[in-house]
A = this chain, B = another copy of it.
Amino acid sequence: MSGVWQLLRPRSVAVVGASADPAKTAGRPVAYLRKHGFEGAIYPVNPKATEIDGLRCYPDVRSLPHAPDVAIVLLGAERTQQAIRELAAIGTGAAIVLASGYSETGAEGARRQRELREAAGAMRILGPNTIGLVNLTDRITLSASGALAADQLVSGPVGLVSQSGGILGALLSRGGARGVGFSKLISTSNEVDLDLADFVDALADDPATRVIALYVESIRNPAAFRAAARKAAKAGKPIVAFKIGRSESGAQAAASHTGALAGTDAMYDALFEETGIIRAQAFSDLLDIPAALASERRLGGRRIAVLTSTGGAGTLVADCLGLAGFDLPAPDARTGAALRTLQTGDHAALDRNPIDVTLAGLQPDLLRGAVRVLLGRGGEDAGGGRRGGRAGGGGEARTGRPPASAGAVRGVSDCPEPGRARARRVSGRTRR
């Protein structure tokens, strides 16, 4: 088992600096490991306790019964270095360092970070300044993220690597709320040792991961990252990246946050383009595009039929689809004729696209009939619908064909500025 996989799927975990109080940050990892069903050995380490949550507590690292696969170090920066030295000495596989106060805080912190690396020797390090990692596939939580307080964590096909711990927690929480399931979530933060590329590489090998999502503040080793991205592409796993630092203020904040220079934003665009990475332009896309890709229902083309009962909503949707590079061909003569048999009068617009059945579309039979006609039609690659109603819009009627890629069409009525380049990328990808 490689060092990274020993970290992602440990059989034994030491929690150094564990608190007996689960309300404290230092009390969370043990509580979360048990709550979410970790089946390996847990070794709390704390000289002030003999037992934590019914588990035997060890006074120090040297007292551990054997070298753990992983140690979570919850001590302050001052005491972390000594613990790391001891963990490395007993042969611990990898340590997760939560302490902050390293390169993100300036020269003094950078010196401390170099010392941390030296103290670790051959032992792998995740962090420092990290919130840890979560392996939902195997129900292993190696993290103090408050998002793990949730009772139900939904595992799924999206592997996330984030250079921010807070973002990991936010995405874990939001993902659950949106029904997006994760396989692994890893916060790399200061990356004194293991970095983005290491985890992209590992996720490319992970059978539980079908799509990789990245929250990027800076790529420290472009060559390794490029190789890992290519490996993921070869494995058929699309990568979606949200890269911070598009503005000067953001780049400066990113540099402060995890202590690395961010490079120019255009450089990242080029790197993403070269490696086929889909760039998420809005933070919410970092959930929505992977969720759409993970569905593995991909568009075969770019033609979409829109069925609506309110012209305004249909127009909004059509405009956003157009900006995103989709085509809305009018129904052919036969389909138009079939639609017209459903509705008398000439106020409905049935032989164009959006197909507007007007408010009469609130009659379920009419709407069902129109959907049936469109299903039999075969001229489109996807269908989307917009049903008018009391609140002027709402439910979605699908034609049974794959719905348009959520990444391109999500929240179309709120679609942002003409993201042509981005839309092409997404829809191009979905055509493969």
Give the interface of A toward B (CB within 8 A).
25, 76-77, 99-101, 104-105, 108-109, 145-147, 149, 162, 164-174, 215, 217, 244-254, 256-258, 281-284, 310-316, 318-323, 326-328, 345-347, 349, 352, 354, 356, 358-359, 388-393, 413-419, 422
A149 to B391, CA, bound (A): 9
Name the B residues within 8 Å of A165 (CB-CB).
Answer: 310-312
If A105-B349, A108-B346, A347-B101 touch, whether A319 touches B249 (CB-CB below 8 Å) is yes
Name the B residues within 8 Å of A252 (CB-CB).
Answer: 318, 328, 352
| Copies of this chain | 2
If A282-B416, A393-B170 touch, whether A311 touches B250 (CB-CB below 8 Å) is no
Decide: A105 and B389 in contact? CB cutoff 8 A.
no
Decide: A352 and B146 in contact? CB cutoff 8 A.
no
A168 to B345, CA, bound (A): 25
A281 to B320, CA, bound (A): 11
By beta carbon, the residue of chain B nearest A177 is: B391
Task: With both chains docked as a complex, state the minimum distance between the C-beta of A83 and any C-beta of chain B, in angstroms.
Answer: 17
A100 to B251, CA, bound (A): 53
List, sorted by A's number, 9 A–B pairs whose CB atoms are closer than 8 Å: A105-B346, A215-B312, A247-B319, A247-B322, A248-B322, A249-B318, A249-B322, A283-B413, A283-B414
Name the B residues within 8 Å of A170 (CB-CB).
Answer: 312-313, 391-393
Task: With both chains docked as a complex, state the minimum distance between the C-beta of A101 and any C-beta of chain B, in angstroms.
Answer: 4
By beta carbon, the residue of chain B nearest A345 is: B101
Decide: A256 and B352 in contact? CB cutoff 8 A.
yes
If A281-B416, A311-B258, A328-B253 touch, whether A319 touches B246 (CB-CB below 8 Å) is yes
A59 to B294, CA, bound (A): 61
